[in-house]
Amino acid sequence: PNPFNPTTKINYSIPSVGFVSLKVYNLLGEEISTLVNRLQQPGNYSVTFNGGGHSNGIYIYRLTTNNYTESKKFVLLK
C-alpha cells in the first residue's frame, strides 16, 4: 500500500532465470537499502521493506533484471 507505515511488501515477477537487484533510494539518489541482490529462478516473489529506521518521505525502489529496469515511488508516513 501507498503510503505505508512502517513496512510494505514489494511484489515482482521474473519471467526467466537472471540476476535480480532490488534497491531502495531516497530522493537524493542515495541507496538506503538492498532488498534483493542474487540470481533468481522464474516466478513471483515478494519482499518486505521496513522503513521503521527512516524518516517520513518519498522513497524510490528500483528493480533491475537482465534486460529490464523499473522504478517506482512509495511514501513512508509515520
pLDDT per residue as tens digits for the range 35-59: 999 999 999 999 999 999 999 999 9
Report residue 23: phi and psi, to 5°: -125, 155
Peptide bond into 3 cis (omega under 30): yes
- The residue with cell 533491475 is 64
H helix runs in the chain, sequence order: none
**Residue 77 corresponds to which amino acid?**
L
Q: pLDDT tens digit string along 6-43?
A: 999 999 999 999 999 999 999 999 999 999 999 999 99
Distance of CA 75 to the CA centre of its chain: 12
Q: Can you tell me the distance from the alpha carbon of 9 to that of 16, in angstroms, rounded to the nearest whole number?
A: 22
Model-wide pTM > 0.85: yes
